């Protein structure tokens, strides 16, 4: 199995960096620090950084077509201007008080998928929501532990509920906006390693971060085979996305919580690969 090695891109130890999003128009990498209540931005051409500080934990976000962000915060989903001066809370979803927003992203149609994670282990009260951008909020799944990685390919949703220790795939029924034809793609060995954030390349192969495993794995969704690895010098690898001028750089986030002895934990990493990735899509509102 071929292995690549990721190098430090942002040399700062965040508590829980997550949810990277690539903005190709400005060549900017956006990512969150969930516990730090902030969206961080790195303009790759000149290395300049900026931070949007928020008043709540932020689990996920996507860029909006009209500018700014749609974001899953602790208390719900919000529309936020790029400078943070304008914030609007959407009426739905109403999060269970024993959960918080976790991973989420937009699909190619510009719809925002937002999941939640349990604040207490074992309650399984988390959900996955779909916001089509027309005022509706559709509950797509419930009974989850930690709604996590999402990736889209044709009419398929690839999905990770970390508590299941696997990657699943569903067909998105466009007429009913429901999930059908469930199949398990890959089982992840139980133990310290947990599947976390995920993205996809232009060949339809899945790239999943392994929390506790210190790597991102490239999986073939047809048979679940682990094809290649990107080794990360931080055990709590949390998520990933493709970007860069040629869309061949994999950006990887990580966490420093609970691993005080790891010198690189919590930093953001990058590796240039011989594969092109999918775009980060924008929310239609």
DSSP readout, 116-127? EEESSTT---EE
Catalytic residue among 103, 107, 161, 196: 196
- Token code pair at residue 48: 């300049």
**The dihedral formed by the CA atoms of 21, 23, 26 and 30, expressed in degrees to the nearest 10:** -10
Q: 48-55 contacts: CB < 8 A, separation 24 or more?
A: 49/10, 52/80, 52/82, 52/83, 52/84, 53/84, 54/80, 54/84
Which of 154, 152, 137, 144 has its CA nearest to residue 77?
137
- Burial code (b: 16+ CB inside 10 Å, e: under 16) for 145-155 equals bbbbbbbbbee
**Cis ω on the peptide bond leading into residue 93 (within 30° of 0)?**
yes
Give catalytic status of residue 142 as yes or no. no
Catalytic residues: 196
């Amino acid at each position: 199995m071929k292995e690549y090695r990721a190098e430090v891109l942002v040399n700062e130890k965040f508590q829980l960096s997550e949810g990277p999003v690539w903005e190709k128009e400005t060549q900017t990498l956006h990512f969150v620090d969930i516990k730090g209540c902030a969206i961080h931005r790195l303009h790759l051409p000149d290395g300049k950084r900026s931070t949007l500080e928020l008043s709540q934990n932020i689990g996920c976000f996507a860029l909006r077509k009209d500018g700014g962000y749609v974001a899953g915060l602790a208390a719900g989903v919000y529309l936020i201007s790029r400078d943070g001066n304008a914030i609007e809370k959407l009426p739905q979803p109403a999060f269970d008080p024993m959960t918080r927003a976790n991973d989420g992203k937009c699909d190619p149609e510009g719809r925002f998928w937002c999941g939640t994670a349990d604040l207490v282990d074992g309650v399984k009260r988390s959900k996955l929501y779909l916001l089509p951008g027309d005022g509706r909020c559709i509950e797509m799944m419930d009974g989850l532990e930690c709604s996590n990685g999402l990736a889209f390919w044709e009419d398929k949703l690839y999905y990770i509920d970390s508590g299941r220790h696997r990657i699943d795939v569903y067909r998105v029924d466009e007429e009913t906006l429901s999930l059908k034809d469930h199949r398990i793609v890959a089982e992840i060995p139980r133990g310290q390693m947990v599947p976390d954030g995920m993205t996809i390349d232009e060949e339809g192969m899945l790239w999943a971060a392994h929390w506790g495993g210190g790597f991102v794995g490239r999986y073939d969704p047809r048979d679940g085979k682990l094809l290649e690895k990107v080794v990360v010098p931080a055990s709590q690898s949390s998520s990933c996305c493709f970007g860069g001028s040629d869309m061949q750089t994999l950006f990887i986030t990580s966490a420093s919580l609970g691993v005080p002895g790891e010198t690189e934990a919590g930093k953001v990493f990058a590796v240039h690969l011989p594969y092109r990735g999918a775009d980060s899509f924008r929310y239609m509102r």
